[in-house]
Structure 1
Amino acid sequence: MDARTPNKSPFHRTPAFPVLMLQLIVTLAVALVLWGFQGWIAGYSGLLGGLVALIPNGYFAFRVYRYSGARSARAIVGEFYSGEAGKLILTAVLFIAVWLGVKPLEVAAVFGGYLAVLVVGASALLIVKGFPKH
């Protein structure tokens, strides 16, 4: 008998959704600010850096929130570990793809976009606390 219970709520109702949306907004804002002040190369470099953080975070959130309920505790823990491993691998692959596949590239802008999105993720508890429960 399978004790895992699939989460029946839509993904946009999970606590991760507002964090991911804020990370998307920060990614776009960083790209626009860099583009406005330092040019289009810095702009798309910042965008790519933000996406290198955002895409793996979305993957992780999707994996972790696939199941719900006390009967699914073991599945949730398993998804947490496999989601985190996948997130790290995906981050490395995306960084390598950006470094090897995008020329010209502003390295500082890539890291700036990446770090800006990480800061939003680090403040996730503050963001989720204000998220309305439905």
Structure 2
Amino acid sequence: MSTKTERLDLPDRVQLKRLLVWQVIAAATAVAVVFPFGKNAMLAAAMGAAACLLANWYFAYRVFQRYRAREPGQLLARIYGAELAKIAIALAVFGLAFATMEDLNPLALFGAYLAVQIVPAIVAQRPDARSNS
């Protein structure tokens, strides 16, 4: 008896890749935007952006691997586990930032995190100009 192994459909992979690329662009932009506010603000923004990037990339890696179509419970468990790990990664990076950075700029830290989390999701949802959608 063979077990069917599934992968993301091509349009889903393209959308995921687009989202991850936009997150990197948003991270670089967030760090550049706080440049006039000094080194501490830039480091805080970089830590916030890194928290979001690491957490989301780990989640995408864990969830969008091959899975067996006959075992949806395992896929659901993988999604829940990846989400818990995503939260733990973000909290660990935030904890590292608070523990190691003097004169931490919380606005830059959390602002960069939110920018990397929200802006790419909005941009990546737009239909591709080359498609007929």
Give the TM-score band, short-chain normalised. Answer: 0.7 to 0.9
**1:95: which partner in 2?**
94
Q: What does residue range 1-134 of structure 1 map to in structure 2 within 5 Å? A: 3=3, 5=5, 7=7, 13=13, 15-35=15-35, 37-68=36-67, 70-71=69-70, 73-120=72-119, 122-123=121-122, 126-127=125-126, 129-130=127-128
Measure how far apart 1:53 and its partner are.
1.1
Identity of aligned residues (%): 26
Q: Where does structure 1 lack aligned partners over 5 or more consecutive residues?
A: none
5+ residue gaps in structure 2?
A: none
The structure-2 alpha-carbon separation of the partners of 1:72 and 1:41, relative to structure 1 and needing over 3 Å to count, comes to same
Tell me the number of residue pairs that the alignment of Structure 1 and Structure 2 aligns.
129
Q: Which amino acid in 1 is paired with 2:49?
A: G
The structure having more radius of gyration, on CA atoms, is 2
Structure 1 residue 74, shift from structure 2 partner = 3.4
- 2:30–2:45: 8 Å Cα contact kept in structure 1? yes
Q: In 2 relative to 1, CA 24–2 (structure 1 residues): closer, same or farther, beyond 3 Å?
A: farther
- For residues 3 and 128 of structure 2, the distance between their equivalents in structure 1, rounded to whole angstroms, comes to 31
- Aligned residue for 2:115, secondary structure, equals helix
Change over 3 Å in CA distance of 1:2–1:115 after alignment to 2: farther
Q: What secondary structure does 1:103 align onto?
A: coil
* RMSD of aligned Cα (Å): 3.1
Structure 2 length-normalised TM: 0.78
Task: Note closer, same or farther for the CA distance 1:111–1:72 as it changes in structure 2 (3 Å cut).
Answer: same
